[in-house]
Amino acid sequence: MTAQPRLAFEGVRKEFDVRGAGAGQRFVALEDFTLAVAPGELVTVVGPSGCGKSTLLDLVTGLSAPTAGRILLDGRPVTGPGLDRGIVFQQYALLPWRSAQGNVELGLEGRGLRRAERQRIAREHLALVGLEGFEQRYPHELSGGMKQRVAIARSLAFDPEVLLMDEPFAALDAQTREQLQDELLRIWRATGKTILFITHGIEEAVYLGQRIVVLTPRPGRVRDVIDVDLGDRTVGSSTDLRSDPRFVAYRHRVWDALHDRPAATTVSAGEVAAEKEVAHV
């Protein structure tokens, strides 16, 4: 059966006024973005900086509205922020004056839950992300990886339909990043959440995604959508998936898609910078 997608983008376009430029100057951040994400799917969106990844996220969050097109969550248009979507930011966005527990409770406070109930849910989710025993720590007492775990727990605690992740592991060191990628896959399997994961790392996109959406910059549009089939990837398997030939092939395909530019385009300074950012992955 063809079920209704959990999250659907229909020809989404987003323009901004260019500050300082003459009237009528519009910057197109995102153009004709169409995508359907099935319930329980983990989709990664990869693209260089300037391809409208953050714009895309703001639109799904409901913090800004598309210039044209629609975003549907379970068939209903997104009109504003809501607890049916949880967001994990690159910079954690934890309240520094609240403990790990307090940060996780933040999203639960508007729901009319009893205090004891909030605390129970928060503790459960901190345990889910492997932070049992760290409930009373303040963010400054936690490492980057642990902060991001708290942020993930916070976004899961209010049980959203969709988890949106904006380059969540980009600020972490390589080892912590790989560790958290495995954690995320484990949590995804355990909770069955629909996840839209934005990244500029090709490997990360291939490693996590069931499908990879490749964006091109200025304006951001879909270059390619790649289905990833790497077999049964059980966490803890001894093989190094990243050196598997199939993984390498996917990696190369995404790389090709990212670098395939129209021949007439002159390379601007911004694109060179974008290329560098991709190249370091």
Partner 1 sequence: MSSTLASRPPVVADEPAFADPPTLGRRSVFQSAAGGRSVRHALAVAGRASVAIVAFLALWEVAPRAGWVDPVFLPPFSTVARTFAELVADGTLVTHTTTSLARAGAGFAIALVIAVPLGLVIGSSSRVSSYLTPFFEIFRNTAALALLPVFILLLGIGETSKVAIVVYACFFPLLLSAILGVRTVDPLLVKSARSLGIGRVALFAKVVLPSAVPTVFTGIRMAATSSVLVLLAAEMVGAKAGLGYFITYTQFNFQIPEMYAGIVAIALVGLAVNAVLVSVERRLSRWRAA
| 49: contact with partner 1 by CB under 8 A | no
Q: Which residues contact 247 (CB under 8 A, 6 or more apart)?
A: 206, 207, 230, 241
- HSE, CB side, 13 Å, CA atoms: give it for residue 54: 7
Task: Among 32, 72, 98, 230, indicate the residue that binds partner 1 (CB under 8 A).
Answer: 98
Among the listed residues 21, 34, 79, 82, the single contact to partner 1 using CB under 8 A:
82
Kindly state whether residue 9 participates in binding partner 1, applying the rule CB under 8 A: no
Compute the least distance from the CB of residue 169 to partner 1, in Å: 13
Contact with partner 1 (CB under 8 A): which of 138, 179, 186, 271?
138
CA–CA separation, 145 and 130 (whole Å): 11
Query: What is the total count of residues that contact partner 1 (CB under 8 A)?
Result: 25
**87 is a site residue for partner 1 (CB under 8 A):** yes
148 touches partner 1 by CB under 8 A: no
Write the single-letter amino acid at 163.
L
Question: Residues 60, 30: contact at Cβ < 8 Å?
Answer: no
Of the residues 85, 125, 149, 221, which one makes contact with partner 1 according to CB under 8 A = 85
Q: Which of 88-96, 211-219, 229-237, 268-276 is the region at the interface with partner 1 (rule: CB under 8 A)? A: 88-96
Q: Closest separation between CB of residue 201 and partner 1, Å?
A: 18
DSSP string covering 144-184:
HHHHHHHHHHHHHHT--SEEEEESTTTTS-HHHHHHHHHHH
Q: Which of 204, 214, 205 is closest to 256 using CA atoms?
A: 214
Residue with tokens 């959406």: 213
Binding-site ranges for partner 1 (CB under 8 A) = 61-63, 81-83, 85, 87, 89, 91, 93, 95-99, 106-107, 109-110, 138, 140, 144, 158, 171
